[in-house]
C-alpha cells in the first residue's frame, strides 16, 4: 500500500515513462562512450498491415528514436508463410548488432502461422517482449534475470514508483492472459504479495476484487469493474483499452479501460488513467529491455574475461603414451567452449560435437576491440628427435589460461596425412600438453587439406586442358568456344573482363574485338617446357615425384613431364596461411603464376579463368578450426604450409580472430616452424609484415640434450638409444654446445623482441646442467630462462614459464623488421644469411643468378624472401653443428610464389622439404660434397653409404631428393601404416602415437 492514503490520485504512466526514457537516453549515451561505434538496435517484425498494429509500431519507433536506439521496422507481406517468417527471425537472431526483436501481434497473414512457434523462435537473449517460453519459465520459477513481459513489467514499475508496498499485500489480478494477467500475477508473487488470479469463470468476481489491496485489471471488458468492486484505499491498475461509442466525439468513439474510472477514482487511493496509464509504460519497458540487452552485449565487449571451465588432468608416472593420455580425457562439447570464449552460436559451424569452424564475421563484430599480446614459440637448432616446440606451446596455453586465468589462445598448423601414415603417426603435441581430439587432429579434421588438394588439381586440369585446346584449334574457333553464344547472345564473364583489362583492351562487347585482339585474348601460348605448377595429394608417394602425363592417344601426342607434390607444399596452402581476409585470399590466388608463355610472360591463375572456381572450392577453408587442449583451453588449428618452401606458420586469420577474442589483456601463442633462423625469421619478415600484427615476445625452446649434440656429442638417431653422454651429467659437452642457443637468442633480440628461453626438462638433466644453461641464456640477453615440465605435468609444469612470458610481453615493443622490401633481392638474402645464420659470404649458382635477374626485371624484387635451408644446422650443411660463422652459403636455385608474395632461394644441395624427412632422412650432401664427378657417380655413392641409411632406420632416401628439393616425401621401409588400424569392436583408431 502507499505510505499515505490519498483517494483518486492519478498514477500517470505517461509521466513515469518519460522519466524512464530520460534515464535510458543517458544509459545509451554512456554505452556509446564506453564502447566506440556501439549502437543499441531494436527490430520490429510485422506481418501484414493492420492499422491498430501500425499505431503501436509508430509509438515504439518514436520512443526508440528519442532514447537513441536504432529501430528498424521489417514489414512482411500478408502472403508471408510460416517458414519465411521463421527464416527472417533466424537471420535477426544471428545478427550480433541486433539486441532486441519483437514480432507485432496479431499476425496478419493469409497463410496459417503458429504464433506460439513464432514467439519461441526469437532467441531468449533478444526476446525483449518476454514472450519466449524460456523467459516465461524463468519468471515462473522466480528467475527475474530474463526479459519480463513488457506490460506486466510496466505494471510493477508503476506500483513501485507510487511507493506501493508489495510485501504481504493482498493482490488480485483480474485476467490470466500469457501477455498480461499471468506474468503480472507471477511478478506480484515474487515481490512477496499474496496473489489471487481471477478470470471470467471465477465465482463472485466483485467479492474477490474487494479483498484486494492491489487490483490489476486485464479482463478485456470495457468498464467492467465498478466502484463497489474496489476496497477503499486500494491501488487500481487498469491494463485494458477498449473503444466504445461516443457521439460527442469527432470520431464517434472514445477509449476506456476495464475499470469505470470516474467512480472508481472516488474509492481507490491510486488509479491509472486510460489512456495514459499502463500503455506508455509497456512501450517504456520494451525500451528498457532493449537497452538491458544492449548493455549485456556491450559488457561482453568490455569485459573479455572468460569463464573457462577446466578439464582436470590425472597425472601418472611414468607418463603414458600420447594416445593413452588423449583418450583418458573427455573434451568439452565445442559449443560450450565457444560460448566460454565469447563466440556467438551463429559464429561457429560444428563438425560433430568436438570441433567447429569459426566464421570470419567475428572480426567484423569485434573490429573495435584491442588485440591481446602476441607471442611466437620457436626453437634452437634441434636434434632429429625434435625439442618440443608444439608441446611447449600447448603447455604454455594451459598454464596461462587454466592456472593464471589469462584469456589465452594457441594457434597451430594442421598436420598432413603424409607424416601421420609415414613416420610421425600423429602431430598434436605430446604428454600432458596435447590438442584433442587427437584422432581428428591427425586425420581429416574439417577437410581443409582435401579442399586445397581439389583446388590445386582443378587448376592443373584447366592448365593442361588449355594447352590441349590451344594446340588443336585455330584462333577464331578458340575464341568462339571461349566466348560462346547462349540463346543468341554472348558476353564475357567477369574473369574474362579482368583479362581484357590486363591486355589493355577496353571493349566489353565480344563481337567488337578485332582479329588481333581476339587472338591476344584467346591464346595464352603456354610453353609446356616452362610450367611451374604441379599436381598435389596428401599422401607420401615417391613414385609421383616425376611422371609423364598425356600418354593417351586422345591427347594427340601432347605428353609432358609432370610431378606431384604433397598438398601442404602447394602455393595455395601458403596463400591460405597468409591471407588477411576473403578478398586478399582471392586476389592472391588470382596472381599465382602457373606457367610462362613462349615469349617468357608469366601466366596466372586468373589468365586461365580458374580463380572463381578455386574460391568456390576453398570458401570454407578460410575459416579456422576450433579445438581444445587436454585442460580445455582453446586452440585454433588452421593451414599447414611447409617451413622451407613456405613460411611454416599457421594462418594470419586464425591469429587475428584469436587476438580479438582474448582481448587487450589476453595472450595468443603461435608457433613458427623449425628454429629461429628459419621459422622465426620468416614469421617476422613474412607473416607479421603481411598481417600487421606486432609480436610482444619470443619463447625459444631449448634442451640440454640438443646442446650436448651441438657440443660434439654422438649422433642422435631416431629409433636408437641415446648415448650415455645424453643421459649422464656432462657439463663440458653442454658448455661447448651452448653457443648454438646463444645464437638463436641473438637472432630474436635483433628484432627488438624480448626472449624467454624455455628449457624443456628431461629426467636425466642434472641441476648443475640446468643452472649452467639458465645462467648462460640470461647472460646472453634473454629476458629470462625457465625450466619447464609441461610434458610430464601439463599446465602446472609450465606456470613459472608462463609468468615469465607475461612479464616479458609487458615490456614496451621495439619490434623491427630485419630488412626493407625496397632493398634488392641480393641485399635481402645477404642480410638474412649473415644476421640469422652467421654466414660470411653467399655464392650463387648460374641458375640462381639468372633467376634472380629475371625476378628483378619482372618487377618482383620487392617481395619478401623465404629461404629454403636445412633446420639441422645454422649452415646449409646439416652435418655442421654448433654456431659456426664466416662460412659461405651456397644458393643453388630460386623459385617464386607470386600469390604468396615471396621468393624462395634454395640453399645447399640435398634439402628435404618435408619436415618429417628433414628430421629422419639423410641427404647426400651430408656425406659427400656434390661436385660434378660425384654427381656423375651417384649410383656408386648410394651403394657406398647404404649402411648409413640403414642405421637411420632406412628412412626416406631418394637420388632425386639429393639433387634438389622434393615436395613429395616417400614412405620409409616400415611406415606408421603398419601400426594404424580401426578396432571394429570399439570403433577406436589404433596406432596413432
For residues 530 and 593, the answer to whether their CB atoms sit within 8 Å is: no
Q: Which of 27, 129, 448, 915 is catalytic?
A: 129
Q: Is 296 a catalytic residue?
A: no
Rounded (10°) CA dihedral 702, 704, 706, 707: 100
* Distance of alpha carbon 805 from the chain centroid: 23
| Phi-psi group of 192: left, alpha or beta (phi > 0 → left; psi -120 to 50 → alpha; rest → beta) | left
The grid coordinates listed for 790 are: 609441461
Q: Where are the alpha helices (DSSP H) in 633-780?
A: 652-662, 681-682, 689-691, 704-710, 724-727, 731-749, 767-779
Cell of 603: 601466366
Query: Are the C-beta atoms of residues 37 and 368 closer than 8 Å to each other?
Result: yes
60 given a catalytic annotation:
yes
Residues near 226 by beta carbon (within 8 Å), at least 6 away in sequence? 206, 260, 263, 264
Most distant CA pair in the chain: distance in Å?
A: 120
Beta strands (DSSP E) in 789-887 are 841-844, 864-865
Report residue 910: phi and psi, to 5°.
-160, 50
In whole angstroms, give the CA distance from residue 85 to residue 101. Answer: 13
d(CA 680, CA 683): 5
Taking the C-alpha atoms of residue 708 and residue 928, their distance in angstroms, rounded to an integer, is 25
Grid cell at residue 158: 508503476
**By C-alpha distance, which of 215, 204, 201 is closest to 264?**
215
Using alpha carbons, list the distances in angstroms from residue 86 to 41, 83, 93, 292, 468. 20, 5, 10, 24, 51
Kindly provide the b/e burial profile for residues 628-661, where b requires at least 16 CB atoms within 10 angstroms of the residue's own CB.
Answer: bbbbbbbbbbbbbbbbbbbbbbbbbbbbbbbbbb
Residues 442, 355: Cα–Cα separation, whole Å: 13
Q: How many Å apart are CA 911 and CA 924, to the nearest integer?
A: 9
For the chain, how many residues are written? Answer: 993
With beta carbons less than 8 A apart as the criterion, state whether 751 and 392 touch: no
Select which of 27, 46, 60, 414 is catalytic.
60
| φ and ψ of 483, to 5 deg | -125, 75
Cβ-contact 374, 695 below 8 angstroms: yes
Enumerate residues 6+ apart whose C-beta is below 8 A from 493: 609
Helix (H, G, I), strand (E, B) or coil at 627: strand
Distance CA 894, CA 906 (A): 6
Which of 104, 292, 398, 414 is catalytic? The answer is 104
What is the rounded distance in angstroms from the CA atom of residue 731 to the CA atom of residue 704? 10
Strand pairing category for 864-865 and 888-897: unpaired
Residue 333 to residue 927: CA distance in whole angstroms:
51
User: Environment class of residue 905 by beta-carbon count within 10 Å: exposed (0-12), middle (13-18) or buried (19+)?
Assistant: buried
- Judged by phi (left if over 0) then psi (alpha if -120 to 50, else beta), residue 233 lies in left
129 is catalytic: yes
Q: Quick one: three-class SS letters along 333-363? A: CHHHHHHHCCCCHHHEEECCCCCEEECCHHH
Question: Cα(48)–Cα(108) distance, rounded to whole angstroms?
Answer: 5
Catalytic residues: 60, 104, 129
Amino acid at each position: 500500500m502507499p505510505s499515505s492514503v490519498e483517494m483518486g490520485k492519478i498514477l500517470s504512466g505517461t509521466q513515469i515513462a518519460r522519466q524512464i526514457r530520460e534515464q535510458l537516453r543517458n544509459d545509451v549515451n554512456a554505452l556509446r562512450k564506453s564502447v566506440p561505434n556501439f549502437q543499441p538496435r531494436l527490430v520490429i517484425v510485422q506481418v501484414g498491415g493492420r492499422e491498430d498494429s501500425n499505431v503501436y509500431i509508430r509509438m515504439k519507433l518514436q520512443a526508440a528514436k528519442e532514447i537513441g536506439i536504432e529501430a528498424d521496422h521489417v514489414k512482411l507481406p500478408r502472403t508471408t508463410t510460416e517458414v519465411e517468417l521463421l527464416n527472417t527471425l533466424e537471420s535477426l537472431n544471428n545478427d550480433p548488432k541486433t539486441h532486441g526483436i519483437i514480432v507485432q501481434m496479431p499476425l496478419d497473414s493469409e497463410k496459417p502461422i503458429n504464433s506460439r512457434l513464432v514467439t519461441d523462435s526469437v532467441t531468449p537473449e533478444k526476446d525483449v517482449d518476454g514472450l519466449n517460453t524460456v523467459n516465461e519459465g524463468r519468471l515462473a520459477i522466480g528467475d527475474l534475470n530474463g526479459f519480463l513481459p513488457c506490460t506486466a513489467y510496466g505494471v510493477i514499475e508503476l506500483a513501485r514508483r507510487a511507493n506501493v508496498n508489495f510485501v504481504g499485500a493482498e493482490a488480485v489480478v483480474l485476467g490470466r492472459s500469457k501477455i498480461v494477467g499471468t506474468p503480472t500475477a507471477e511478478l506480484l508473487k515474487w515481490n512477496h504479495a499474496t496473489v489471487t488470479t481471477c478470470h471470467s469463470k471465477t465465482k463472485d468476481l466483485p467479492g474477490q476484487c474487494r479483498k484486494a489491496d492491489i487490483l490489476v485489471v486485464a479482463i478485456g471488458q470495457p468498464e467492467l469493474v465498478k466502484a463497489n468492486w474496489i476496497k477503499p484505499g486500494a491501488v487500481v491498475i487498469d491494463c485494458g483499452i477498449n473503444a466504445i461509442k461516443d457521439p460527442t466525439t469527432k470520431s464517434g468513439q472514445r477509449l476506456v479501460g476495464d475499470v469505470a474510472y470516474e467512480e472508481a477514482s472516488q474509492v481507490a487511493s491510486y488509479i491509472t488513467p486510460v489512456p495514459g496509464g499502463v500503455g506508455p509504460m509497456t512501450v517504456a519497458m520494451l525500451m528498457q529491455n532493449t537497452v538491458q540487452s544492449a548493455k549485456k552485449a556491450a559488457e561482453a565487449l568490455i569485459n573479455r574475461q572468460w569463464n573457462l571451465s577446466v578439464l582436470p588432468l590425472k597425472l601418472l608416472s611414468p607418463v603414458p603414451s600420447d594416445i593413452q593420455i588423449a583418450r583418458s580425457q573427455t573434451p568439452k562439447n565445442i559449443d560450450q567452449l565457444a560460448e566460454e570464449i565469447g563466440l556467438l552460436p551463429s559464429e561457429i559451424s560444428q563438425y560433430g560435437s568436438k570441433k567447429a569452424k569459426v566464421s570470419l564475421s567475428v572480426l567484423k563484430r569485434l573490429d573495435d576491440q584491442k588485440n591481446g599480446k602476441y607471442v611466437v614459440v620457436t626453437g634452437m637448432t634441434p636434434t632429429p628427435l625434435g625439442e618440443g616446440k608444439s608441446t611447449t606451446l600447448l603447455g604454455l596455453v594451459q598454464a596461462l589460461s587454466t592456472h593464471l586465468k589469462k584469456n589465452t589462445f594457441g594457434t597451430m598448423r594442421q598436420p598432413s596425412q603424409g607424416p601421420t601414415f609415414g613416420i610421425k603417426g600423429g602431430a598434436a603435441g605430446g604428454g600432458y600438453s596435447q590438442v584433442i581430439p587427437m584422432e581428428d587432429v591427425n586425420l581429416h579434421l574439417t577437410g581443409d587439406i582435401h579442399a586445397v588438394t581439389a583446388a590445386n588439381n582443378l587448376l592443373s586440369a584447366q592448365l593442361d586442358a588449355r594447352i590441349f585446346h590451344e594446340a588443336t584449334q585455330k584462333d577464331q574457333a578458340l575464341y568462339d568456344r571461349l566466348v560462346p553464344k547462349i540463346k543468341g547472345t554472348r558476353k564475357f564473364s567477369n574473369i574474362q573482363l579482368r583479362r581484357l583489362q590486363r591486355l589493355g583492351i577496353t571493349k566489353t562487347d565480344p563481337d567488337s574485338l578485332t582479329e588481333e585482339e581476339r587472338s591476344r585474348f584467346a591464346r595464352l601460348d603456354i610453353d609446356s617446357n616452362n610450367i611451374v605448377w604441379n599436381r598435389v595429394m596428401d599422401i607420401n608417394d615417391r613414385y609421383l615425384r616425376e611422371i609423364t602425363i598425356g600418354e593417351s592417344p586422345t591427347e594427340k601426342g601432347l605428353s609432358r613431364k609432370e610431378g606431384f607434390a604433397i598438398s601442404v607444399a602447394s602455393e595455395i596452402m601458403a596463400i591460405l596461411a597468409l591471407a588477411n581476409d576473403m578478398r586478399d585470399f582471392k586476389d592472391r590466388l588470382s596472381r599465382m603464376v602457373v606457367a610462362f608463355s613462349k615469349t617468357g610472360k608469366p601466366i596466372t591463375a586468373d589468365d586461365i579463368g580458374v580463380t572463381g572456381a578455386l574460391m568456390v572450392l576453398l570458401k570454407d577453408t578460410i575459416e579456422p578450426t576450433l579445438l581444445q587442449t587436454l585442460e580445455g583451453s582453446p586452440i585454433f588449428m588452421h593451414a599447414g604450409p611447409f617451413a622451407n618452401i613456405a613460411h611454416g606458420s599457421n594462418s594470419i586469420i586464425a591469429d587475428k580472430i584469436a587476438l580479438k577474442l582474448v582481448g587487450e589483456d589476453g595472450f595468443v601463442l603461435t608457433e613458427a616452424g623449425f628454429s629461429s633462423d628459419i621459422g622465426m625469421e620468416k614469421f617476422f619478415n613474412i607473416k607479421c609484415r603481411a598481417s600487421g600484427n606486432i609480436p610482444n615476445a619470443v619463447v625459444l625452446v631449448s634442451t640440454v640434450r640438443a646442446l650436448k649434440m651441438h657440443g660434439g656429442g654422438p649422433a642422435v638417431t631416431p629409433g636408437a638409444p641415446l648415448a650415455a653422454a645424453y643421459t649422464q651429467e656432462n657439463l663440458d659437452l653442454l658448455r661447448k654446445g651452448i653457443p648454438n642457443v646463444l645464437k638463436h637468442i641473438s637472432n630474436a633480440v635483433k628484432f627488438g623482441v624480448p626472449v624467454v628461453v624455455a628449457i624443456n626438462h628431461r629426467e636425466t638433466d642434472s641441476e648443475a646442467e640446468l643452472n649452467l644453461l639458465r645462467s648462460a641464456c640470461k647472460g646472453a640477453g634473454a629476458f629470462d630462462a625457465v625450466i619447464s615440465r609441461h610434458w610430464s605435468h601439463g599446465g602446472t609444469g609450465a606456470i613459472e614459464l608462463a609468468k615469465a612470458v607475461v612479464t616479458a610481453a609487458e615490456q614496451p615493443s621495439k619490434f623491427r623488421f630485419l630488412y626493407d622490401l625496397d632493398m634488392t633481392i641480393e641485399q635481402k638474402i645477404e642480410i638474412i644469411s649473415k644476421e640469422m645464420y652467421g654466414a660470411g659470404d653467399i655464392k650463387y649458382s648460374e641458375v640462381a643468378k639468372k633467376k634472380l635477374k629475371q625476378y628483378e626485371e619482372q618487377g618482383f624484387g620487392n617481395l619478401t624472401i623465404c629461404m629454403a635451408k636445412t633446420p639441422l644446422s645454422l649452415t646449409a650443411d646439416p652435418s655442421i653443428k654448433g654456431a659456426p660463422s664466416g662460412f659461405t652459403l651456397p644458393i643453388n636455385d630460386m623459385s617464386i610464389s607470386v600469390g604468396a608474395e615471396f621468393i624462395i632461394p634454395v640453399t645447399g644441395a640435398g634439402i628435404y622439404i618435408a619436415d618429417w624427412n628433414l628430421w629422419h632422412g639423410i641427404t647426400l650432401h651430408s656425406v659427400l660434397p656434390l661436385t660434378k664427378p660425384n654427381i656423375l657417380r651417384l649410383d656408386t655413392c648410394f651403394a657406398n653409404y647404404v649402411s648409413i641409411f640403414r642405421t637411420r632406420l632406412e628412412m626416406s632416401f631418394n637420388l632425386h631428393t639429393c639433387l634438389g628439393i622434393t615436395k613429395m616425401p616417400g614412405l620409409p621401409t616400415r611406415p606408421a601404416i603398419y601400426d594404424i588400424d580401426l578396432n571394429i569392436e570399439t570403433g577406436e583408431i589404433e596406432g596413432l602415437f
